[in-house]
Chains A and B, each alone.
Chain A
């Protein structure tokens, strides 16, 4: 019970490992990440835990005993778990799975939330971890902050007060970790299980897998976490059937005992350290405004509008700049290497593919900056609080509002924004509907179609555009509701929706920027490489083979013999169109024709749809090549609009009446035509199953909807 005990030299028999592993645990919002950054300097690596998108941060740092690794565990209020996400903290603390158990566990203790943070520390001690307490938020707690020495004496471990901003207490914390390495492990319980609970613990302990440590605490964890009942089944991973069966045999009303026993110890001991209550009046005053019926929503709308405009419009010049720079670079490559397959590959395949990835970067950086700021200052939890009532009616999480809003700019950053939700089910459901929002890549396509194929006054055309936005909001909300009722893993479960509304705090700029950089570089590494590979593959699909069909004119000699520049450009455009038609992608467009003919589309649109898979707006430049109006057609291109307007079907009638335009817009609104979105869903959902589902359901939905529009319109006599 005396703190000095911990500071004695290593007992005989305790050997310090060559590279000690230190884990950093704590409740959410206790300054854990700031402490992690302060301890580890700038060498942190971010990755995901295998199979789930919970970020895993680790960094080397120096102890007197040598170089050690510091692991930042996900913030948690308890080690008991229902889901794979919550299970991570326990696995990392006990050493289940690939990792070995950490040699020392540093538990962050929030001076303003002492009892609650000590609760987690008690669980760590029950497991037999060597624990050091890091007392944070001392400044904020003011007179309510406990004395670190007294707290250490009470908890039977060293407790160091730290202020990560000023580095106060960090050397002492490092020294305490080093001393703890030399201490013996022992399980420390503050309460004695009742005979009934004892019997259950003993029974379950016998069936723990041989790879898990056979401890009472782990048996208790299994008893309280594993739940095999039909309606309330847990989502833990790696629980053997034998263990599940043993837990199922035990009486189920034992949960309360352990929790109540810990709290009764806390309620007895913690008040002895002081009776002053932390002052939360500043946060309450801010909440009175920000959560106010009228003002609160106005501020909320203003913040969201500002973020959206920054993402939508603010990133545009940067994206254009990247686009121009890479186009110029591609031109240089062509000039330096001359024409040929290799220079085409380099310029149009590799460099353009890198461009596709880099063009996401401005939005991704901004998004992580905004989200980091909103999360750290405490407002993101308020977004969930304000929007819960609305989002819940579609079985979506309150925080899903943010990704869905960002979906109007681009689904790729929007899907990375789903990380702010804790539960996988909430994240996946949001990911499945975000791609239905009218993203900025659909805009030029709609502009072209409306301009070329839909007759009418400007007002009608503008209303049609507004209609497409309304359509996308409706379909995504309805899709969320339908999927939450029909797709088993997405069904709304009766899980509690209890989120902490942390005190407002001014975020630490360095932490926010650092997280922005770490997360963005992870995006480049994991999603960027897939996007690059896909765009090169797609380029090859539309480029090879290089021969034109038999009987075509000899374009090369015609180009050489062209009398004027204009004539040469026009022959080149026809040559490109012929190449594209005979490419694998062109043949795919032909092959698709029977499938898309019932929607009113011909093979040329089919080729455009193949090209659109790189990014929806590529539909336009692909059509530009097909119609031989040049490689750089955009939505405003008059020749392309004219060509589409004048296009004739083999029957001699107009190929694209307004009804086809409408059918095409509906198809673009609903179809999953974006490989980058699929790549990022694959990364965020941790596998291929969800991107495959997303692609299938959206494509089927798009086909059926376009079919109904086109065939229905024909029946009504619109074609």
Chain B
């Protein structure tokens, strides 16, 4: 079921399908290893509901909800 990373429930994992968005943003995400086929996990959601803490390849990152919407995932 394709959806966006912003919709993955807390604690769940998904597989990156494609990264969309402006060029610099896309490239940055790809370079940190968020290439299609990579597993992503939503580790925490910030107390105010945004941003999200995600785990990619053993590293953890903060990403805003609006940015997570640009990442299509398969759950």
Contact = CB atoms under 8 A, between A and B. Distances in A.
Nearest to A501: B60
A622 to B, nearest CB: 46
B7 interface: no
Nearest to A389: B48
Interface centre among A78, A252, A498 (most CB of B within 10 A): A498
Interface in A570-611: none
A389 B49 contact: yes
Nearest to B36: A260
B58 A499 contact: no
Interface in A674-697: none
Contacts of A115: 33, 57
A501 B46 contact: no
A77 interface: yes
B33 A116 contact: yes
Contacts of B29: 496, 498
B38 to A, nearest CB: 8
Given A116-B33, A291-B46, A497 B23 contact: no
Interface in B1-57: 21-33, 35, 43-44, 46-51, 53, 55, 57
B64 interface: yes
B49 A255 contact: no
Given A224-B27, A252-B23, A263 B33 contact: yes
B24 A495 contact: yes
Contact of A232 (B22, B46, B51): B22
B62 A501 contact: yes
A384 interface: yes
B57 A116 contact: yes
A227 interface: yes
Nearest to A270: B57
A551 B27 CA distance: 77
Interface in A1-22: none
A547 B50 CA distance: 66
Given A232-B24, A259-B27, A277 B58 contact: yes
Nearest to B55: A280
Nearest to B33: A116
Contacts of B30: 255-256, 259-260, 263
A396 to B, nearest CB: 14
A278 interface: yes
The interface residues of chain B, by DSSP majority, are classed as: mixed
A287 interface: yes
A255 B21 CA distance: 13
Nearest to B58: A278
B35 to A, nearest CB: 5
A498 B61 CA distance: 6
Contact of B62 (A259, A388, A390): A388
B62 A381 contact: yes
A386 B63 CA distance: 12
B22 A263 contact: no
B47 A297 contact: yes
Contacts of B63: 497-498
A389 B50 contact: yes
B62 A384 contact: yes
Contact of A78 (B31, B43, B44, B64): B31
Contact of B35 (A260, A498, A502): A260
A247 to B, nearest CB: 12
A497 B63 CA distance: 6
B43 A386 contact: no
Contacts of B46: 291, 385-386, 388-389
B62 A227 contact: no
B62 A494 contact: no
Contact of A259 (B31, B51, B57): B31
A207 interface: no
Contact of B44 (A255, A287, A388, A502): A287
Contacts of A390: 48
A255 B23 contact: yes
A292 interface: yes
A255 B22 contact: no
Given A78-B31, A256-B30, A388-B46, A494 B58 contact: no
Given A259-B27, A496-B25, A497-B51, A291 B64 contact: no
Interface in A112-158: 112-113, 115-116, 119
Given A252-B23, A500-B59, 8 more contacts: A116-B57, A232-B22, A263-B35, A287-B44, A386-B46, A389-B49, A499-B61, A501-B53
24 contacts: A80-B27, A80-B31, A115-B33, A119-B33, A224-B27, A229-B23, A231-B22, A232-B22, A255-B23, A259-B35, A260-B35, A263-B33, A280-B60, A291-B53, A294-B47, A385-B62, A388-B64, A495-B24, A496-B28, A498-B32, A498-B62, A498-B67, A499-B61, A500-B59
Interface of B: 21-33, 35, 43-44, 46-51, 53, 55, 57-64, 67
Sort A-B residue pairs by CB-CB distance and give the 5 closest, nearest first.
A389-B48, A496-B25, A259-B30, A293-B47, A78-B31
